[in-house]
Amino acid sequence: MKDKNAISAIIEELKVLYPDAVCSLDYDPEKAYELLFSVRLAAQCTDARVNLVTPVLYARFPTLESLAAATEEEVGEIIHSTGFWRAKARDIVAASRMLLTEYGGRVPDTMEELLKLPGVGRKTANLILGDVYGKEGYVCDTHCIRITGLLGITDGSKDPLKVEMQLRKAIPPEESSDFCHRMVLHGRAVCVARRPDCGNCTLRPWCDHFMKNNQQS
């Protein structure tokens, strides 16, 4: 596992590579529930597809109240192309109603409360905490899990909860949210799952995967 100096170097290099560590899902910053539901729609779907669907969804249902009053079929008709639309529509309508009845229309700002919402797991909760509330947010998506394992920041586990717990020990809380966003950007641009472009990766000096392969060659 990486020491603090190596992790700091990785964090700083990522800042150079990706100065704007932003979520690729579009949403109105004044309406945190939009990000909440966009993340739900992004399950087994690309962010690009979700960004095509959500403007239509929120034009038809511009408020949390209108989403809460919608039927699952009405929502499902709009989000159909994101896949698994029945479950997603059910969660969006149910979560809208719960946000209104239990939280006064405000998206909660604690892990415990967020996990009570239909369709919300730790990845979504961490994203909301980091992006909406500026708190620590260890978002362990497939890119983050894979790349932190290759780098040697984690032990290579594929279990999201185990990786999150390891990252909580390795990555400073104030860096966590941006770090995870940059892992996604790096996974899309350089460290692609099927064929990592190690030759053009400036994280090579601190990458366990590269070091091992380089020694073997």
What does the buried/exposed string (b/e) look like for 16-44 if buried means 16 or more CB atoms within 10 Å of the residue's CB?
Answer: eebeebebebebeeeebbbbbbbbbbbbe
> Is 31 a known active-site residue?
no
Catalytic annotation, pick one of 26, 109, 141, 208: 141
The Cα 168–Cα 136 span in angstroms is 9
Catalytic annotation, pick one of 2, 88, 123, 178: 123
> Is 28 a known active-site residue?
no
Active site residues: 123, 141
